[in-house]
Amino acid sequence: MNLTKRNFFKAGAGLAAWLVSGARPGQAQTEKPSTHILIQNSPLAGFQYHQGKKVWPRLRTGQPLTLQREADNTYDAKAVMVLWNGKKLGYVPRADNVAVSQMLDRGIPLQARIVELADSPNPWKRIRMEIHMETSRKQA
């Protein structure tokens, strides 16, 4: 009778683990879904000086942005350029770019996306972006 109870509890524990993991029977799950760590939420700097006005009608909330280090920038050694579909929109603001530039310099991949668009005469209020780091946890 103890053997039956032990098997029952083992089966119950296995079922619980399966339900939590989302794996199908016989299917090994090696990676859990990725998570995003928000690094910062900031406005786009320099919108009025680059290609932002040209591409404004095609920009949408949620679209990805590309971050590119510009270490040889004469005005800011920590400069991080922001691109949309290869078009330069501007920069991560100087007051907010230290952590982002250091992470990019260390080879840490960062993602960015548009989180807010506003048709404002103030160029600092036109585009708001989120910068985040993607992580994934391995499951044994």
Averaged pLDDT for residues 94-107: 95
Q: What is the pLDDT at residue 53?
A: 87
Asked whether the predicted pLDDT for residue 4 surpasses 80, the reply is: no
Q: What is the pLDDT at residue 92?
A: 97
pLDDT one-digit tens code per residue, 105-118: 999 999 999 999 99
pLDDT one-digit tens code per residue, 116-127: 999 999 988 999
- Cα–Cα dist 70/81, whole Å: 6
Better-predicted residue by pLDDT, 11 or 56: 56
Better-predicted residue by pLDDT, 11 or 108: 108
Q: Name residue 58's amino acid.
A: R
For the entire predicted model, the pTM comes to: 0.72
Q: What is the pLDDT at residue 19?
A: 39
Which residue in this structure is represented by tokens 């680059």? 50
pLDDT one-digit tens code per residue, 19-78: 344 445 555 555 556 688 999 999 999 999 999 889 999 999 999 999 999 999 999 999
- Cα–Cα dist 60/45, whole Å: 18
Tell me which DSSP letter residue 71 carries.
T
> Distance of CA 104 to CAs 37, 108, 118, Å?
15, 5, 28
